[in-house]
Amino acid sequence: MKLSFVSRLRAITLPGLAVFVIALIILVRSLSARNAYEILLSSSALVFLIILGFRGAWIVRRLRGLEITLKPPLPLGASSGSGSSNEEWLITCGSLRAPLFFRLHFLVRGRFFPQGAQGCAVFAETSLPRDSDTARLGLGFPLGGLFSGECSCRLRDIFGFFSFPCGTPSNHILTVRSAPCDIKPLRINALSGAEDRRTKSSSNEERYYQREYTPGDRFRDINWKSSERIDSLITRITPDNQEKVTRIEICFRSFGPARPGIADLWLLDRAKARLTWFIRNAKDEKASFIFNIQSPQGNWELKDQEEIDAFFDDLAALPFSVVQNEERVMPQAGGGEIYVFSTACDLALPGFLLSQQTRPVSLFLAQNCPKEKTEGMNYDCLYLRDFPNRGTVPSPRWFLPAKKRLPIKASCARMMIDYAEIRI
């Protein structure tokens, strides 16, 4: 990175420019007044600034190929609730040591889109310790969404007079998953809504499969001839004995306003957190579960943990959808149980539940806290002051009084309600 004369002038900070102008004015006045003390003082300040500026420009030339590596905590998750600590990000730049009177500063700037909605600015800064090659940056997000930004480096003197850009900035697009929700009792009826699928032979002549013997297999299924040839027990497995696969049908209704407020975004965040909790608990209960998920933005079929993790990343950036793609989230005809996740912003939810009254429905609903809270009521609270405390500049309109969403009158076989609230 070769700095021109103009770039060197731009590298001077406001404090450095102020010191330079003041020293220059004092020098001119002292020369006219022939004040030796002021001449020495102002000249020393100007010489010091010039030497410091040229030394910084020379050091930056040596940092021409500096590579900056940003390592956020993965998977990156939000931390709701006041008092939660920021996530610790690591920034490395090789085995570089900062020279005397100078420090390397790292800046992370970009935009954060909570729940895929209108973005807000993000700014965080840290410096590289003198005896370390790794800097730690405190940056966090109060709710889930999408972060897009860059990490850059600047060489600054310890007096704050100069700031030189150095290295190559690195761009990053990261999904922020919703903070975990409260753990509640969960019952999944594997018989309801389950579609059993058996693995069948690809050839009519193939009558059975074979694998190594495991404790619990029947002795009559052991293929003694094959076991004798390879000196290891081999068990026959007929196609009818293959493990059954159970499908769970999920309907994620992310319907809401075109310009949602922070309270609406918080409800969507809680609905996503509950969906994530449901999938994880169901998968832990039975590893063979397959999830068919339908939403206004698309459909997913999740079979293994890799596909589930990829879906969680997609889910974090899904915004509200205006009620115009109702057909995309209409479940297929059948009598099995369906699991519905929605918010109080979904005004079409009562009509949807009415159309599904012929089948069992489990509803997971996120809505605002009632005016009169009952004793022992659990609710998730989002503090707006957490945004600036964690490096994010909140939108001014979030602080305006907003009308709470009225509770949705819904009735179904099972219903689990998550209450959410916004505070300053």
Confidence of residue 203 (pLDDT cuts 50, 70, 90): very low
Confidence of residue 250 (pLDDT cuts 50, 70, 90): very high
Please name the residues in contact with 46: beta carbons below 8 A apart, sequence gap of 6 or more: 20, 23, 24, 27
Strand order in the sheet with 361-368: 298-302, 290-295, 247-252, 338-343, 361-368, 414-423, 379-383
Average pLDDT over residues 373-392: 81
Confidence of residue 119 (pLDDT cuts 50, 70, 90): confident
Please name the residues in contact with 181: beta carbons below 8 A apart, sequence gap of 6 or more: 270, 273, 274, 277, 380, 418
What amino acid occupies position 242? Answer: Q
Q: How many CB atoms lie within 10 A of CB 223?
A: 15
Write down the pLDDT at residue 245: 53
Q: State yes or no: pLDDT of 290 exceeds 70.
A: yes
Q: State yes or no: pLDDT of 34 exceeds 80.
A: yes
Write down the pLDDT at residue 327: 60
User: What b/e string do you get for 15-41 counting C-beta neighbours within 10 Å, with b at 16 or more?
Assistant: ebeebbeebeebbeebeeeeeeeebee
Give the model confidence (pLDDT) of 71-111 as tens digits. Answer: 988 888 888 654 455 578 899 887 667 778 898 999 999 99
pTM of structure? 0.77
d(CA 400, CA 402): 6
Bond before 75 cis per omega within 30 degrees: yes
- Residue 91 burial (10 A CB sphere; 0-12, 13-18, 19+): buried
Q: Where are the domains of the chain?
A: 5-62, 69-176, 209-241, 247-423
Which CATH number is 69-176 given? 2.60.40
Write down the pLDDT at residue 192: 40
Most confident of 42-46, 132-136, 238-242, 246-250: 42-46
Q: State yes or no: pLDDT of 385 exceeds 90.
A: no
